[in-house]
Amino acid sequence: MARSQLANQPIVEVLAPQLDLNAQIAKAIDIEEIFRNCFITTDRVSECFRWLDELRILKQCGRIIGPRNVGKSRAALHYRDEDKKRISYVKAWSASSSKRIFSQILKDINHAAPTGKRQDLRPRLAGSLELFGLELVIIDNADNLQKEALIDLKQLFEECHVPIVLIGGKELDNILQDCDLLTNFPTLYEFERLEYDDFRKTLSTIELDILSLPESSHLAEGNIFEILAVSTSGRMGILVKILTKAVLHSLKNGFGRVDESILEKIASRYGTKYVPLENRNRNE
């Protein structure tokens, strides 16, 4: 199997199967830290990056729409980090106004005067984006933007012709349509769950480059693969959380790999609602 390419590949010490509690926790923390700092380039992500490159060339606005926990934010952040001087990335807070989002962008591009009145911020930002060499502005959690902010972003693009990409869930499209702005962010990239082959390749990458356990867990094969596929529905965010916990519990129980029965127990409880004991007994 060819070694996968990661953005960052910190070295994790391979520990023996029998570990004391402190070593078990340390190993799990190491793995969690690698998940947080490294970036796995899936086929889905590569396609999204090509799409963003095209928008920069064509100077067109667009939107990335997809469900939660599929890696939209992580992908956008990595894309920005690869070219910080020419890409701005900000995340909209709840009910973000024009003033707030424009101030965030000005801070992100290190403008000397990032605050002020709304009527001053847009022309200041419009005059700065091209001057600062920006080629793309990415706004995550764009579902949180007020109508006024979305209209001002449309006008910002018309003034400076630096493409703006909005990221959110399906509700973002509903908001844009209600504001009659859907055609102002016309190009759509559907950032969906990982498809079967992409999910399998991602699991192989994780096992080889991130977990580095003493024994092979065969994450991309057999029943373990089916457990992960069903429990995560191909969502990267959920996959990382389940695997991190499964590694810790497997090591605590003396395994040098991700144990199938432990993984299945953790996966079956992840994201499920609490059911009182008396109701559980009644349903049995």
**Res 3 pLDDT > 60:** no
Task: Please give the mean pLDDT across all residues of the chain.
Answer: 89
Kindly state the average pLDDT of the residues 92-98: 95
**Res 225 pLDDT > 70:** yes
What is residue 275's predicted lDDT score, i.e. its pLDDT? 77
Q: What is the pTM of this model?
A: 0.86
Kindly state the average pLDDT of the residues 1-11: 46
**E strand map for the chain:** 62-65, 87-91, 136-140, 164-168, 187-190
